[in-house]
Amino acid sequence: MKRLIQLNLLLLLISSAGAQEAQLQEPTKTLQVYDWKDLSRQQALPGEVVSMDGMSVLKIENTNDTPSSPEGDYIIDSPFVVSFLKITNSVIKKTYWVSCELKYENVWSGMVINSNRVVRSRSGALKLVEYYPPSASGGDERIKVANFNFDGTSNWQLYRFAVDRTESGGLPTKLELKLSLAGHGTVYVRPIKLLGVTSSWWSAKQSGAVGGAVGIFGGVIGCFGGLLGCLAGFGKARKFVLTTTKILIALGMFLAITGIVVILCGQPYFVWCVFLLPGVILTLVFSLNFPTIQRRYDDLEIRRMASVDTMGS
C-alpha cells in the first residue's frame, strides 16, 4: 500500500507548486485590437501600411541622419518623433496593459550634444503617454510617460506597457503611443492590443491562500489514504475501507468534472486547477488501488475460511 501513500502525497506537492506558479501569472484578455488597415481609412497615419505575415503593419521610416551643427563640432539633439495612435474611448477604464510588437532595422543610436553643450545618449524609443485629469479644478492636465529604448536591427519584439491605475484623481483620460528616432532607422509596428484582466472567482493574489487550502486538503487525504492502506494490509474494517475508497473516487470524479466545467466557463488557470488537479489525482489514485484493496480482503477471507476448515477437520 506504499503507492497509495506516495500518490496522495504527490497531491500535496503538485497543488502547492501550482498555487505558487499561479501567483506569478496575471490572466489577461484582449479588449480591443487597432488594425492599421482599418485605421488608415479613418485617419492619416504617420507612415505606410504594408502587409507582413498575413496582417497589416505600420511602417515608420526616418531617412535623415542626425543633423550636425553648422560648425560641425556637435550634433543637434532634435530626434524624429511621431505620434501614431491616440486612444480616448471608454475602453481605457478597463485597460491594464498596452501591447505593442515592433520590428526595426538600422536604428541609429549614439551620443548627442545640444546647443548648450549637454551630452546625452540617444536611441530609438517607444513611448506611452498617459494623460490624467487635473488634481484640482482649473489645474493643468497631468502627464506620465513610460518608454522602451531600442537600437540596431531586430526581429519582432513584444513590448507591454502597464497602465498606471494607482494615480490619485482617477484613471487616465487618454493614451498616446509615440515613436522617437534619434537618427535614421525603419520601424514596423503590428496591430496594437489593449489588454484587460479576466474576471475570475478569486484573484491571482488570493490564489496563494486557495492553493494552500488545497495543499492541506491533499495532505489530509494522503494521511487518510495511508490509514486505509494500513487497515487493508491487516485485513481490518473491510466495509469502512471499501466504502470510503468508493466515496473518495466519487469525490475525485466530481472535482474533475467541476474543473472541466470551470474551464468551459473561461476561468483562468489558478481557478480551474484547484478543482481539476485534485480531482484527477484522487480518481486515479483510489481507482487504481481499489482492486488491490478488495483483492487483499478477499485473499485474507479465503485464508481465514481455509484455516477454519482445517481446524474443523
Q: For residue 183, what is the domain's CATH number? A: 2.60.120
> pLDDT, tens digit, for every residue of 158-212?
999 999 877 555 788 899 999 999 888 999 999 999 998 776 676 666 666 776 7
- Same domain assignment for residues 41 and 162: yes
- Give the pLDDT confidence score for residue 226 in this predicted structure: 78
- Give the pLDDT confidence score for residue 169 in this predicted structure: 56
DSSP string, 75-107: B----EEEEEEEE-SGGGGG--EEEEEEEEEEE
310/313 Cα distance (integer angstroms)? 5
Highest mean pLDDT of the ranges 118-122, 143-147, 229-233, 263-267: 143-147
- Give the pLDDT confidence score for residue 62 in this predicted structure: 92
Instruction: Write the single-letter amino acid at 192.
Output: I
97/192 Cα distance (integer angstroms)? 11
231/241 Cα distance (integer angstroms)? 7
Q: By C-alpha distance, which of 85, 92, 86, 84 is closest to 31?
A: 92
> pLDDT, tens digit, for every residue of 7-37?
555 555 554 554 444 444 556 788 999 999 9
- Give the pLDDT confidence score for residue 111 in this predicted structure: 80
What average pLDDT does this structure show over 90-101?
91
- Same domain assignment for residues 39 and 78: yes
Domain count along the chain: 2
Q: What is the DSSP letter of 191?
A: P
- Same domain assignment for residues 50 and 124: yes
Beta strands in the chain (DSSP E): 28-34, 48-52, 55-62, 80-87, 97-107, 110-113, 119-122, 124-132, 142-150, 152-162, 174-181, 185-189, 192-197
Last-in-domain residue among 144, 179, 197? 197
What is the CB neighbour count within 10 angstroms for residue 305? 10
- Same domain assignment for residues 150 and 191: yes
Burial of 284 per CB tally in 10 Å (0-12, 13-18, 19+)? middle
What is the CB neighbour count within 10 angstroms for residue 245? 21
Residue 14 near residue 209 (C-beta atoms within 8 A): no
Residue 125 belongs to what H/E stretch? Answer: strand 124-132
Radius of gyration of the chain, Cα coordinates, nearest whole angstrom = 32
More confident residue, 216 or 125: 125
199/23 Cα distance (integer angstroms)? 15
Last-in-domain residue among 181, 197, 213? 197
What average pLDDT does this structure show over 66-75?
56
What average pLDDT does this structure show over 207-228?
75
Dihedral sign, CA of 242, 243, 246, 247? negative
- Give the pLDDT confidence score for residue 112 in this predicted structure: 77
- Same domain assignment for residues 211 and 109: no
- Same domain assignment for residues 53 and 176: yes
Residues of the chain with pLDDT > 70, as a percent, come to 80
Domain of residue 287 covers 2-24+201-312
Burial of 189 per CB tally in 10 Å (0-12, 13-18, 19+)? buried
- Give the pLDDT confidence score for residue 23 in this predicted structure: 44
Residues of the chain with pLDDT > 90, as a percent, come to 31
- Mean pLDDT score of the chain, rounded to an integer? 81
Side-by-side strand order, sheet with 124-132? 80-87, 174-181, 124-132, 142-150
What average pLDDT does this structure show over 34-53?
92
More confident residue, 301 or 194: 194
- Same domain assignment for residues 172 and 275: no
Last-in-domain residue among 197, 232, 260? 197
What average pLDDT does this structure show over 47-75?
79
Asked which of 19-28, 50-59, 139-148, 279-288 is least confident by mean pLDDT, the reply is 19-28
- Same domain assignment for residues 239 and 300: yes
- Same domain assignment for residues 289 and 275: yes
Strand partners, 181: 80
85/130 Cα distance (integer angstroms)? 12
pLDDT beyond 80 at 306: no
Q: Enumerate residues 6+ apart whose C-beta is below 8 A from 118.
A: 77
The three cell numbers locating residue 55: 496582417
Q: What is the DSSP letter of 136?
A: S
Q: By C-alpha distance, which of 263, 276, 271, 280 is closest to 19?
A: 271
- Same domain assignment for residues 104 and 87: yes
- Same domain assignment for residues 172 and 123: yes
297: pLDDT confidence band, cut at 50, 70 and 90?
A: confident
- Same domain assignment for residues 162 and 213: no
pLDDT beyond 80 at 116: no
More confident residue, 25 or 117: 117
